Amino acid sequence: MVCITDVRLTTVNTPRRTGAVCGHVLVELLTEDPGLVGLGEMSDLQHLPRFHFDVGELERTLRELLTGRDVLAITEINALLEENFPQAGYIYDKSRAIRCGVDIAVWDLAAKSLGVPVHDLLGGAVRDSVPIAYPIFRQRRPEDVERSLATVAERLAEGQSCFRVYVGRDLELDETFLRAARDRFGDTITIKSLDFSNLLDAKAACRFVDRVLDVGFDLVEAPAPDHDVRGLAFARARMPVPVSEHVYGYRWALDLVAADAVDVFNVSVIAIGGITAARRVFAIAEAAGKPCLVGTTQELSIGTAAAAHVAMAMPAVTLPSDPVGPLLYTADVVTEPVRYVDGRLLVPRGHGLGMTLDPARVAACAGPLTWAGTDAQAVVDRAPAAPVTTVASPR
């Protein structure tokens, strides 16, 4: 029996290509064998509400909870995590990030102890790669449109032809970008989805979809306020394309099925609280006949590797998925980041997740979690905060 002997948490901060800086917590579960360490990741913690937990106290708490636990007792450990860090019914609550980071590390450690990849523990791979959609973040200013078009051109040149587009902040700019993208790139690009991120009510989202329907897109995501199951059902009944929504709790998954409110489940390992929790939601989706995609908050390579193993093993994952964090960040923490080829995420090779920390890269990113340099709107739009204008005091 292999047991956990200690827990180590390391905070890192990594900038995105957009300039936004995101904080993460690396999780290491140690054993008596120095070469047998489970890796996990509490990913992209720069989400509302705008606070961070006490990492030192959390490390002490997890050490108390996990030391001495059998690494193969995954169900027992997950129940312990849910008891101490319960689901809050919100997609970006801090508890789910804690559960996720530890749960990923437990799966990594369990698979390593058996000498197999994580996807083998999940039932075996049913595919060896999954298509991904590169995100185009919201247009907030007129100059953002040309910048976003340039991003599409850059990614297209790299073999990435599928995109998802965040909308809902400035609908005029959103429409300008969508039409310009289609005019400039034609059918060489696929717009997988328009992601409203729960910013609009269902009627407003429907009106916008009608306005831009001729542009061509495959899905509409989150076209109603958070927890508005009636709004989602309204949108699904009126929109000519499938409706997708993030599933961030078991109760929410059951509510969506009971109301038949969506066509597609967006299941993110980080948003639901780990691999164990994601498996349960995929089971609900399969029973309800709902196709799925693997969502993201945009993880580093450890979190993305976890998403990749899940995507490879879940038959319900039939749509282009979203984990592209390693392509968005300008830094990572592992020796060999996850790989993308021709717009597809490959499953990492090796035992466990197939990831190894690079001490030099970790040291270069290490630092306390901070909310400096951002604001609430920038957090939602995944962009740097607007510059602060200082008004001189009258003399």
Identify the CATH number of the domain in which residue 69 sits: 3.30.390.10
Q: Let me know if 329 is a catalytic residue.
A: no
Report how far residue 330's alpha carbon sits from residue 14's, in angstroms, rounded to the nearest whole number: 7
Those residues whose C-beta lies under 8 Å from the C-beta of residue 38, and which sit 6 or more positions away, are: 4, 27, 28, 29, 71, 105, 106, 107, 108, 109, 110, 112, 352
Q: Which of 90, 92, 248, 329 is catalytic?
A: 92
325 & 176 share domain: yes
Report how far residue 218's alpha carbon sits from residue 221's, in angstroms, rounded to the nearest whole number: 10
Could you tell me the strand order of the sheet in which 344-346 lies? 129-131, 344-346, 340-341
Which residue type occupies 63? R
Q: Let me know if 92 is a catalytic residue.
A: yes
Q: Is residue 371 part of a domain?
A: no
More confident residue, 387 or 65: 65
CATH at 244: 3.20.20.120
66 & 196 share domain: no
Q: What is the mean pLDDT of residues 242-264?
A: 97
Q: What is the mean pLDDT of residues 221-231?
A: 97
Q: Say what the pLDDT of residue 373 is.
A: 77
Q: Is residue 392 part of a domain?
A: no
Q: Where are the alpha helices (DSSP H) in 70-93?
A: 74-84
259 & 180 share domain: yes
Report how far residue 363's alpha carbon sits from residue 340's, in angstroms, rounded to the nearest whole number: 25
* Boundaries of domain holding 59: 6-115+358-366
pLDDT digits (tens, 9 = 90+) for 27-66: 999 999 999 999 999 999 999 888 999 999 999 999 999 9
176 & 90 share domain: no
pLDDT digits (tens, 9 = 90+) for 114-170: 999 999 999 999 999 999 999 999 999 999 999 999 999 999 999 999 999 999 999
Instruction: Look up tokens 């109301």; give the residue.
Output: 259
Q: Which of 134, 166, 248, 329 is catalytic?
A: 166
63 & 138 share domain: no
Q: Is residue 196 part of a domain?
A: yes
Confidence label for 294 from pLDDT (cuts 50, 70 and 90): very high
What secondary structure letter does DSSP report for 117? B
54 & 88 share domain: yes
Confidence label for 206 from pLDDT (cuts 50, 70 and 90): very high
If you count them, how many residues does the chain have?
Answer: 395
Q: pTM of this prediction?
A: 0.95
Which residue type occupies 356? T
Number of domains comprising the chain: 2
Q: Is 227 within 8 Å of 219 (Cβ atoms)?
A: no
110 & 147 share domain: no
Q: Say what the pLDDT of residue 390 is.
A: 43
